[in-house]
Structure 1
């Protein structure tokens, strides 16, 4: 063991990374850099129309797969526009059903692009020969797309997930027991203390997600498994067979729930102490004086709101900022709002972590993406939340439940509502105190989250997997997993025993009655 470990550390491991775009790549990139700094050779699989993943890099080799369509900002903006149209219209059951099917169609389209990439990759015999000859020690993948699990099985090498989402939804639901009575579905907006009505809605929400996966998403990946693998394979089982799940959550932030031995928590692994700001930003920040700074960003995916709603919302936001005594730094790539005040600086990009760690920052206006929420928690900065889609409302809701955030649904946003929320978060000291308490809890760990992640990646490389930590429950049929077959068998046995007991007693009683009758006669 000692020989193999030292040998590996000397030569370094070979890691094949299968990432996702946008903010998912931003945090996967941190793991890639960390693996490179520890002497490992990293190759990153990317689409020819990749949005964020660059072909040239000093710390990884890229493997580009040709595709006809990519996943880009236009795709996200179209989905966001549909969402805003639905939220701002009068809702009815029919409109809700139509909207859900539109969202299902959008997600199906995204996964179809991934499936095209997987198919092109497997059909490219030269590429697959090169990947096989590379003798990778491990595949590190984001399971929100199904490419990583399929590729790892095709190459027959261990699989580690950098995960919050799978193709099926929130990662825990794929790998760990998840009682719906106290574990809220992401997107439900519920806490772990649900009323009866909320529990009913939670189960209906779960059923809707299962429908989406089983009808629109899983069949696309299953078709690839059926076509390219001789042995009959279930795609869901393929994902559940991953050796280690590096989960991007922290129980300071997440509601307590059951978990499994091969789930490793690394929430906030991307967070770090702040660095000095660029000179021009530092001058602007210092000009705020004692009032301090507010920063605003809608995350990696959204530099601006959809054009059909942007003019209204951005003007309302800018007008509210203009009335604040604080200075504002706002990441905004769209047209300049007509109501922009002299106190607001628009930027195409901002050093979010470094700004959140600056002592003059008083509040963070955020969309609620996992990265931004965890960075705010790490630095103890209270949040005004403008959730847009996916898990963003739920992330902000967890902070709000702990007293560190105030949520404004964007479809009710106007200058007055936004201004009131800002004033509340800035002037009620409980928001900052609660966030600073959460920050202390998060940092009080025996091992930094990034070091924890690196240890388990290297553990899998050293031992060529982690099968001893993996449950076999995912191979069981659903009725066996829930012991319905055992319950049915025991029920039949009990019924049979009762039936025969009643039958024997009746026979005895009948015989005794017959004997008495014969005696009387």
Structure 2
């Protein structure tokens, strides 16, 4: 018995030693906006946990010019594009955003933008000062982001193990997960997991379209790979995605449809949610004016706020004027039309404490662009939503919000004051939306571990075990025709057809022999 206690104590002390040993971790952030916010949060959590974290940060302002980065406790290595490349990238991004906000989010425009990101990646990999500095650091692990393919190539150039963060819900990229198309909707299908016959036909056809589009997107990095990796050892992006030790997914069972997962796939939705603090007095004073009627929070994300048209602002302002609630609206004052009078019940601000306002007892509704971070914060605090999705994963997120009865969706190009006001009143007055939001909040909060605890726990696990090979099925190494048993099906089909052909031949021979025997007998 005493010996067992000694062994248990030794095991405990060893685990404490392993957990206390700091690892050197590199996080890579090239896209800015909410993508940077997520990687910043990840970096800070890992730094607080005792690891030595360095972020490789692109500091260009092509994505959201007004976005301000804060001081960090972890180390930051920053870099910039040459001025001409930065201008070209910004031009393509601005065009893509304007097209998307007018309901013209063409796939070809997105591919053009991705080509520019491939050029941006080449500029980074060409920076021998940065790449050599990173190699000399000898990191234990690299933390990459699924929307930023360049981060995968950085990890590959450094020859280091990496884990990946998926900022959207499943389907945006192929992680190698099982995808039964009978109930797992393909990305951009706008379907739920409850599909009738024609939905399943649509989902099946879009399954092939998805892989064709992925191939086109990945091909935008072909020149970058050819330039920076020697022939014979050039990585394939689709293979790199499946090479990740772990996949952290910015979603939760409270929102996502139930589906098959692999052991190395971990939900960390609401990672951005922080402890609630009292809202600043200026907001509290405004909220108190409306008493029990409460208030509506409006935050359409950095990109939509930057690029939205004046016509949309006017229609939204007119819709808010029809509500009895106060409206706190994150909207740049510089973008406000000078000839439009702001509704009396509306307060516009350049910045607001979104998490704290969502936790306020008098909030009645959250009007959002449907970005994953915002949706997860609303679920965390049990607030029903009206979503105005524009691009990327936002329409898919709102499909899930509507399927779970957490709110409704409105198309940006179809916003009219009267119908928009009716939608908001519907969600606030129909108690079923609030009940569903509270139920989703209970699901989200009832996890035995927080998102941050799951993140650091799994990172520590693979650092101690030397990787996650034990969590990844062999299927990730199989070619697609083996994984889907197409070679087996083809073999069995050939055997079946060959057997039928042989039986037919034998029956023919026997038939002719019998006919010949009868003729001889008659003769």
TM-score under structure 2 normalisation? Answer: 0.88
Match of 1:43 in 2: 54
How has the CA–CA distance of structure 1 residues 70 and 457 changed in structure 2, closer, same or farther, with 3 Å as cutoff?
farther
Match of 1:427 in 2: 429
Whether the 8 Å contact between 2:329 and 2:348 is mirrored in structure 1 is yes
Per-residue CA distance 1:16-75 (angstroms, 9 max, x = gap): 111232112212211111111111111111225255797884322222334234598876
Give distance in 1, aligned partners of 2:92 and 2:350. Answer: 20
How has the CA–CA distance of structure 1 residues 320 and 255 changed in structure 2, closer, same or farther, with 3 Å as cutoff?
same
SS at match of 1:302: helix
Per-residue CA distance 1:297-355 (angstroms, 9 max, x = gap): 1013232443xxx2221111112222322211100014335141222111001110000
Q: Structure 1 residue 59 and structure 2 residue 70: aligned?
A: no
Q: Structure 1 residue 183 and structure 2 residue 184: aligned?
A: yes
1:407 aligned to which of 394, 409, 418 = 409
Per-residue CA distance 1:212-251 (angstroms, 9 max, x = gap): 3323x21122333344143253221111111100011112
Match of 2:164 in 1: 161
How has the CA–CA distance of structure 1 residues 165 and 471 changed in structure 2, closer, same or farther, with 3 Å as cutoff?
farther
Please state how far the C-alpha of 1:426 moved relative to its aligned partner: 1.8
SS at match of 1:174: coil
1:344 aligned to which of 340, 343, 346 = 346
Give distance in 2, aligned partners of 1:451 and 1:428. Answer: 36
How has the CA–CA distance of structure 1 residues 70 and 260 changed in structure 2, closer, same or farther, with 3 Å as cutoff?
farther
Whether the 8 Å contact between 2:381 and 2:438 is mirrored in structure 1 is yes
Deviates more, 1:206-215 or 1:379-388: 206-215
How has the CA–CA distance of structure 1 residues 3 and 478 changed in structure 2, closer, same or farther, with 3 Å as cutoff?
same
How has the CA–CA distance of structure 1 residues 117 and 235 changed in structure 2, closer, same or farther, with 3 Å as cutoff?
same
How has the CA–CA distance of structure 1 residues 239 and 497 changed in structure 2, closer, same or farther, with 3 Å as cutoff?
same
Per-residue CA distance 1:393-427 (angstroms, 9 max, x = gap): 22122122222202221222111011111211222
1:23 aligned to which of 34, 49, 58 = 34
Please state how far the C-alpha of 1:520 moved relative to its aligned partner: 4.3
Please state how far the C-alpha of 1:5 moved relative to its aligned partner: 5.3
How has the CA–CA distance of structure 1 residues 41 and 252 changed in structure 2, closer, same or farther, with 3 Å as cutoff?
same
Whether the 8 Å contact between 1:70 and 1:113 is mirrored in structure 2 is no
Match of 2:323 in 1: 324
Match of 1:126 in 2: 129
RMSD over aligned Cα atoms: 2.7
Match of 2:7 in 1: none
Match of 1:223 in 2: 223
After superposition, residues 176-215 of structure 1 pair within 5 angstroms as 176-215=177-216
Deviates more, 1:414-423 or 1:55-64: 55-64
Give distance in 2, aligned partners of 1:284 and 1:410. Answer: 27
Per-residue CA distance 1:75-125 (angstroms, 9 max, x = gap): 65532321344x4xxxxxxxxxxx56xx33432233233323332333333
| Gaps in structure 1 of 5+ consecutive residues | 88-98
Please state how far the C-alpha of 1:451 moved relative to its aligned partner: 0.8
Give distance in 1, aligned partners of 2:346 and 2:68. Answer: 32
SS at match of 2:175: helix
Whether the 8 Å contact between 1:55 and 1:62 is mirrored in structure 2 is no
| Gaps in structure 2 of 5+ consecutive residues | 1-10
Give distance in 2, aligned partners of 1:44 and 1:489. Answer: 51
Match of 1:81 in 2: 98
Give distance in 1, aligned partners of 2:450 and 2:90. Answer: 33
SS at match of 1:301: helix
Match of 2:110 in 1: 107
Deviates more, 1:379-388 or 1:228-237: 228-237
After superposition, residues 366-445 of structure 1 pair within 5 angstroms as 366-445=368-447
Give distance in 2, aligned partners of 1:335 and 1:393. Answer: 25
SS at match of 1:149: helix
Please state how far the C-alpha of 1:507 moved relative to its aligned partner: 3.1
Give distance in 2, aligned partners of 1:509 and 1:419. Answer: 81
SS at match of 1:184: coil
Equivalences, count: 501
SS at match of 2:303: coil
Please state how far the C-alpha of 1:435 moved relative to its aligned partner: 0.6
Deviates more, 1:456-465 or 1:377-386: 456-465
Whether the 8 Å contact between 2:101 and 2:307 is mirrored in structure 1 is no
Please state how far the C-alpha of 1:139 moved relative to its aligned partner: 0.8
Match of 2:151 in 1: 148
How has the CA–CA distance of structure 1 residues 145 and 404 changed in structure 2, closer, same or farther, with 3 Å as cutoff?
same
How has the CA–CA distance of structure 1 residues 477 and 392 changed in structure 2, closer, same or farther, with 3 Å as cutoff?
same
Give distance in 1, aligned partners of 2:86 and 2:175. Answer: 27
Whether the 8 Å contact between 1:404 and 1:435 is mirrored in structure 2 is yes
Match of 1:95 in 2: none
SS at match of 1:290: helix
How has the CA–CA distance of structure 1 residues 4 and 224 changed in structure 2, closer, same or farther, with 3 Å as cutoff?
farther
Please state how far the C-alpha of 1:364 moved relative to its aligned partner: 0.8
Whether the 8 Å contact between 1:364 and 1:376 is mirrored in structure 2 is yes
How has the CA–CA distance of structure 1 residues 75 and 284 changed in structure 2, closer, same or farther, with 3 Å as cutoff?
farther
Whether the 8 Å contact between 1:169 and 1:209 is mirrored in structure 2 is no
